[in-house]
């Protein structure tokens, strides 16, 4: 694809289980610090799974959301605003001085306002239909992540939310880049948000046997690619990024963290939860993104893997990487930061794209912690347990979702 416009990342904001800012999140990743622990958001004593990766000490007022406004938003929307505000501040953008119709918002959320749905269903069951809040629907629907961010920041350009399960945020970031490539916007605020540590969500995933059950050692439960993995750890939070057209970013002297050069999407057309055999759909997404980015396999330094710590998913992703990269696959640093954050579902692609961006910017590959016992089916370099200083010129972020949704993003070190 011959593009006249280039897209760069000039701002990032993070609200993660192991850090409420991008700096604390990155420091935690590099130091192998987990955000997993016992569930505190509800009484999980009767649940099969009693731990998760929760955001700690969140205060929406720090991001301009007062108490009255917070009561009118589900937690996932508050998280989205927090990450977006951080990203805009990090980018040094004065949105009041921008053409509002050239600033857009695309966010992703896999589940949306499930806590609101549960609370309002309880209100209905206990008091009848008149107890249902008039704000129920606008608090619950997933599109309010993008909607409320645009209202909060005054962005009037392209505005929508993508729902593709655990690929939602990666699709959102890729589409945000395309809005700039296609000259529909000059600045895009993008990312993903999720707040699904609730009784129904935890109970549902546990019933589906997708969650780890290491209740006796939750901090060791998320162990991507390890032979003893037994499922993922549900997490929550948000990641926000500012994407900007290169010329205007340079004109205003912005810090440029990396360039977005490719986005590849495919569908498995196979199963509602399991990857296609051999990671075939993921491999096609990788090839599409690399073709768009004009990247050869030997140029890739680092992959932030989807790496959920499930028995089926990790070998499938490994197979996809090997199918695309051949002999070079074993020379690529492949890590899953979900080992420290748990799985943020629709927000995972956002905080993991931030991790891949910072891997490029700081020349460090974050580790996969809890990697103790190699699995013969997972035989790549997973950067076990300790961060690795290394040059990272091209990084990839993989995101795969229930329903067979595959999204791959490619980032390049900015070199003028």
Query: Active-site residues: which are they?
Result: 166, 306, 343
Q: How far apart are the first and last CA of the chain?
A: 19
* Tokens matching residue 162: 């993508």
């Amino acid at each position: 694809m011959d593009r006249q416009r280039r897209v760069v990342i000039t701002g990032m904001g993070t609200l993660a289980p192991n850090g409420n800012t991008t700096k604390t999140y990155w420091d935690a990743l590099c130091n192998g610090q987990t955000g997993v622990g016992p569930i505190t958001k509800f009484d999980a004593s009767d649940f099969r799974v009693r731990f998760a990766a929760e955001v700690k000490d969140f205060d929406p007022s720090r991001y301009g959301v007062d108490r009255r406004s917070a009561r009118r938003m589900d937690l996932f929307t508050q998280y989205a605003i927090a990450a977006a505000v951080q990203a805009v501040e990090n980018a040094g953008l004065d949105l009041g001085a921008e053409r509002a119709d050239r600033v857009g918002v695309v966010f992703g959320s896999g589940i949306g306002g499930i806590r609101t749905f549960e609370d309002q269903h309880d209100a209905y069951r206990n008091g009848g239909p008149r107890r249902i809040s008039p704000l129920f629907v606008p608090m619950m629907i997933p599109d309010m992540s993008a909607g409320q961010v645009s209202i909060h920041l005054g962005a009037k350009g392209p505005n929508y939310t993508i729902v593709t399960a655990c690929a939602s945020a990666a699709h959102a970031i890729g589409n945000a880049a395309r809005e700039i490539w296609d000259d529909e916007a000059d600045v895009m605020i993008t990312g993903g948000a999720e707040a699904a540590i609730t009784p129904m969500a935890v109970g549902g995933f546990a019933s589906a046997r997708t969650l780890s059950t290491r209740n006796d050692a939750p901090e060791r439960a998320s162990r991507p690619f390890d032979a003893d993995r037994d499922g993922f750890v549900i997490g929550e939070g948000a990641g926000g990024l500012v994407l900007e057209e290169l010329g205007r970013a340079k004109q205003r002297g912005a810090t440029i963290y990396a360039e977005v050069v490719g986005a590849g999407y495919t569908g498995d057309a196979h199963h509602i939860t399991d990857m296609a055999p051999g990671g075939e759909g993921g491999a096609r997404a990788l090839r599409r993104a690399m073709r768009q980015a004009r990247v050869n396999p030997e140029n890739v330094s680092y992959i932030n893997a989807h790496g959920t710590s499930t028995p089926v998913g990790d070998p499938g992703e490994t197979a996809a990487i090997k199918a695309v990269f051949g002999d070079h696959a074993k020379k690529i640093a492949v890590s899953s930061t979900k080992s420290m954050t748990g799985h943020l579902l629709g927000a995972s692609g956002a905080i993991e794209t931030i991790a891949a961006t910072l891997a490029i910017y700081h020349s460090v590959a974050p580790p996969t912690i809890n990697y103790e016992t190699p699995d013969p089916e997972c035989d790549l370099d997973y950067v076990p347990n300790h961060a690795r200083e290394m040059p990272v010129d091209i990084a990839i972020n993989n995101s795969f979702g229930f329903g067979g949704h595959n999204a791959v993003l490619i980032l390049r070190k900015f070199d003028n």
